[in-house]
Amino acid sequence: MNAFRYAQAHDAASALATMASDPGAAYIAGGTNVVDLMKDDVVRPTLLVDITRLPMRGIDTLPDGGVRLGALATMSEVADHAAVAARFPAVAQSLLLSASPQLRNMATIGGNVMQRTRCAYFRDVSQACNKRVPGSGCAAISGVNRQHAVVGGSKQCICTHPSDLAVALLSADAIVHVRGRSGDRAIPIDRFHVLPGTTPQRETVLERGDLITAVELPATASARTSFYLKVRDRASYEFALVSVAASLDVRAGTVRAARLALGGVAPIPWRSHDGERALVGKPANAGTFAAAAQAATRGMRGYGQNDFKIALAQRAIVRALSQVGAPS
């Protein structure tokens, strides 16, 4: 681990100013991701700006039935919140299926959606990785790629995004609230992360020094009927091979609204608009769910060791949809 300086911010303005003072500065809150990367020598910040004293830990219910999550609220606090569990069950489920209880007690909501890939080549500084060192190559494409993307990747990068929560947030139409040097802005979660393309080192639309202040969960017709399914190699403390967040608004046996998001298959949390279109206006039955699974995985391709993910995703989609679309 490299030597670094430490500063504690007491308000958003001081956090932004301190970040601006050093081009090598980075924010730290729970530290469950950035400290690991520092230990592996993947990132080498010259200054860590501690934001844990900022007043951004609240979880507030909104008049319209939504919920606003402070960026510094922990995963455990959000998962255990009664309004989140009742109004956005997929969000609560995704958090409870993430990491370990000890990590959930430390890790924050803002940090979770910002976490870096768990690709072994990214985390091994002896290996070629365009995300870590642009232009160095992607060792995963011809290497051990069982865990890697089957959609959304590029010749530069086929990593997968590690967050369970971010997948569930897609199904909830979440909004990320950000404060930067130019003021406050609200970013829909489906525009927050960016595909690798030719610049895999850029992972979100955030600008240098931007600070996530909250994540808003707006009330929607399908939000209360949602489910998060995570398929992994083992039942404890493991990242998803494939995950599905499904939300359906079913009335009189017909799907009126749908949200379908996948994890473990792409460099970003992956929303399937094709899968959603295959659901809306159709009867909520096994045939519709199977057709949606086919539509959602159309165009996916593996790299040898991860070919199985496509069929696995189809089965997981059907299972998740059956959970939320079954007649009550």
pLDDT by residue (tens digit) across 145-156? 999 999 999 999
Q: For 183-213, what is the HEC assignment? A: EEEEEEHHHCECCCCCCCCCCECCCCCCEEE
- Tens digits of per-residue pLDDT, 292-314? 999 999 999 999 999 999 999 99
d(CA 223, CA 207): 30
Q: Report the percent of the chain where pLDDT is more than 90.
A: 97
Pick the CATH number of 226-325 from 3.30.420.40, 3.40.50.410, 3.40.630.30, 3.30.390.50: 3.30.390.50
User: What is the distance of C-alpha 42 from the center of its chain?
Assistant: 20
- Confidence band for 40, pLDDT divided at 50, 70 and 90: very high
Q: What is the pLDDT of residue 39?
A: 96
For 290-325, the DSSP string reads HHHHHHHHTT----STTTHHHHHHHHHHHHHHHHHH
Average confidence score pLDDT of the chain: 97
pLDDT of residue 221: 86
Helices 89-96, 164-171: inter-axial angle, 10-degree rounding:
170
Q: What does the alpha-carbon distance between residue 264 and residue 130 come to, in Å, rounded to a whole number?
A: 19
pTM above 0.95, yes or no: yes
32 close to 110: Cβ distance less than 8 angstroms: no
Task: Give the residue from 50, 44, 35 showing the smallest Cα distance to 3.
Answer: 44
5-50: which CATH architecture? 2-Layer Sandwich (3.30)
265-298 pLDDT, tens digit per residue, is 999 999 999 999 999 999 999 999 999 999 999 9
Bridge-based pairing state of the strands 175-180 and 59-61: unpaired
Domain ranges of the chain: 5-50, 226-325
- Taking residues 214-242, report their average pLDDT: 95
- pLDDT confidence of residue 32: 95
